[in-house]
Amino acid sequence: MQDWEQMPFFLAVARTGSLRAAAETLGATHATVRRHIEALEAGYGVQLFRRTRRGLTLTGAGETLLPEAEEAETLLARARNGLQGLDREASGTIRVSVDPMTGHFLLAPVFAEFCRIYPQVELEISLTFDIQQISNLEADIAIRHAAEITDDVVARKLQALPISVCASRDYIETHLPKAGKKGQGLSFIGYGPVPEMQRFIAESGFPEATIRHTCIDPEMHLHLARAGAGMSFLPHWVLQKFPDLQRVPGGTVDEGRSTWVVYHEDLRRVARVRMFVDFLAQAVIAAGRDAR
């Protein structure tokens, strides 16, 4: 059917018999109802109502249109109720965006447990360093690590994300005793010409350590550090997951970032999204508490 916008006005006039009564039913003005009826008649090229002493009555064309309009109204109501039912039953798909290291080592068991509890929910997980645009609905929910969230989204701060200089136990025991006071003799696994990382090194407690290796992937930093290739900046939750890694004595702690879960305002009332965000928040907060 054409002109979906006008159909509620057509049905209201057909059922009440007047523009004014239809306006009261719809919470609109008399002029608005008239405008929509005239637009509908112009679109179809026929007159749908005639004025009588009893008010507005349907013409032959109007009587032909009425059952079609009522059927469309029923189908739309059924679809709306079905979608609302999906939310009440917590079923459907949630698209989640998270960086690979956090996804692999921290959140994979959280996602699996959520899906066990809510078997009707499907997760579509995107592992990426890119910040997918929640505002454009590229993802429903994103996990981000940042000082603050400035996008026009709903943002829930999960916990602080302290980052320290970390290395394997063997690396610390072998190299730290022979190192100079400013880190001479030690080596970092660097990220390349990233200003924030350069600042971290300058303020790390080991400003004169050598940047011996370079890799932009934090997960590779984790593996290299565990293998004894040098020091890296890693979040504290990693130390809980991998006890062979330790904070390097004398190194500083950067507390400028937090972990956030962000999602679009339009999803605030979607049951499965609310439940997922609450479940995720509890899990991440618990993991951070255990890591301290």
Domain interval for residue 132: 92-154+262-291
| Confidence band of 1 (pLDDT split at 50, 70, 90) | very low
Q: Which residue has the higher pLDDT, 108 or 192?
A: 108
**Structure token digits, residue 5:** 């916008």
Asked if 75 and 106 sit in the same domain, the reply is no
Report the SS3 class of residue 171.
Answer: helix
Q: How confident is the model over 53-82, as a mean pLDDT?
A: 82
At 194 the pLDDT is 81
Question: Using an 8 Å Cβ cutoff, are 159 and 286 in contact?
Answer: no
Asked if 57 and 176 sit in the same domain, the reply is no
- What is the average pLDDT value for the chain, to the nearest integer? 86
Last residue of a domain, one of 88, 111, 126: 88
Asked if 135 and 167 sit in the same domain, the reply is no
Asked if 207 and 226 sit in the same domain, the reply is yes
Residue 200: inside a domain? yes
Asked if 78 and 114 sit in the same domain, the reply is no
Residue 1: inside a domain? no
Residue 150: inside a domain? yes
Asked if 16 and 150 sit in the same domain, the reply is no
75: pLDDT strictly greater than 90: no
Question: In angstroms, rounded to a whole number, what is the distance separating the alpha carbons of residues 255 and 164?
Answer: 9
Asked if 132 and 267 sit in the same domain, the reply is yes
16: pLDDT strictly greater than 80: yes
| Confidence band of 26 (pLDDT split at 50, 70, 90) | confident
**For helices 60-88 and 7-16, angle between their N-to-C axes, nearest 10 degrees:** 120
**Of residues 244, 102, 99, 219, the one with CA closest to residue 166:** 244
Structural domain tally of the chain?
3
Residue 284: inside a domain? yes
Q: What percent of the chain has pLDDT over 70?
A: 89
Residue 274: inside a domain? yes
90: pLDDT strictly greater than 90: no
CATH of the domain at 194: 3.40.190.10
Q: Cα 288 vs. chain centroid, distance in angstroms?
A: 20
Asked if 123 and 189 sit in the same domain, the reply is no
Sign of CA dihedral 105, 256, 179, 232: positive
Q: How confident is the model over 243-262, as a mean pLDDT?
A: 93
Burial zone of 126 (CB within 10 Å; 0-12 exposed, 13-18 middle, 19+ buried)? middle
Residue 122: inside a domain? yes
Asked if 79 and 117 sit in the same domain, the reply is no
Asked if 209 and 250 sit in the same domain, the reply is yes
Last residue of a domain, one of 66, 88, 110: 88
Question: In angstroms, rounded to a whole number, what is the distance separating the alpha carbons of residues 17 and 56?
Answer: 5
Question: Using an 8 Å Cβ cutoff, are 59 and 50 in contact?
Answer: yes
At 195 the pLDDT is 83
How far lies 76's CA from each of 3, 71, 80, 83, in Å?
A: 14, 9, 6, 11
Residue 2: inside a domain? no
Asked if 168 and 247 sit in the same domain, the reply is yes
Last residue of a domain, one of 48, 72, 88: 88
Asked if 202 and 250 sit in the same domain, the reply is yes
| Confidence band of 4 (pLDDT split at 50, 70, 90) | confident
CATH of the domain at 31: 1.10.10.10
At 133 the pLDDT is 59
34: pLDDT strictly greater than 80: yes
| Confidence band of 276 (pLDDT split at 50, 70, 90) | very high
Question: In angstroms, rounded to a whole number, what is the distance separating the alpha carbons of residues 184 and 186?
Answer: 6
Residue 53: inside a domain? yes
